[in-house]
């Protein structure tokens, strides 16, 4: 069951194909590139928290903000996909949401080729 009430914020590092696929599925997806380009990572993370949005990113620095600096987050979906296999990236994110949707809230999730690791945060 797809949970369409989940909202997202796509960081500038996030491949825009993910934004297009999620929007086409009916998700509310805001984009840093469209709304507030050039924002710092910390500003982006705080914006996601304030708006109750899961952050979509390919920037590993957000892991450092969450784990090392203990910054608050609403949820982070960190995408690690090799460049030569990106043609299915949007579909893989859609499948992840279909299977695990609500579990991504308050979790740091890493989506890699063939697997997703969902780490629930306290």
* Whole-number pLDDT of residue 3: 59
pTM score of the predicted model:
0.93
> CATH top-level class for 7-120?
alpha beta
pLDDT band at 33 (very low <50, low <70, confident <90, very high): very high
Backbone angles phi and psi of 85, in degrees to 5: -120, 20
Cα 48 to Cα 76: distance, rounded to the nearest angstrom: 9
Q: How high does pLDDT run on average in the chain? A: 92
Q: Tell whether the model's pLDDT for residue 2 goes beyond 60.
A: no
* Whole-number pLDDT of residue 107: 97
pLDDT band at 84 (very low <50, low <70, confident <90, very high): confident
């Amino acid at each position: 069951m797809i949970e369409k009430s989940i909202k997202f914020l796509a960081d500038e590092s996030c491949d825009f194909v993910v934004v297009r696929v999620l929007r086409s599925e009916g998700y509310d997806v805001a984009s840093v590139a469209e709304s507030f380009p050039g924002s710092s990572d910390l500003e982006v993370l705080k914006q996601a928290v304030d708006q109750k949005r899961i952050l979509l990113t390919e920037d590993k620095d957000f892991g450092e903000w969450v784990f090392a600096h203990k910054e608050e987050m609403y949820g982070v979906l960190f995408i690690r996909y090799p460049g030569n296999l990106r043609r299915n990236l949007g579909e893989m994110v859609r499948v992840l949401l279909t299977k695990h949707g609500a579990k991504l809230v308050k979790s740091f999730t890493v989506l890699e080729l063939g697997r997703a690791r969902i780490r629930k945060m306290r």
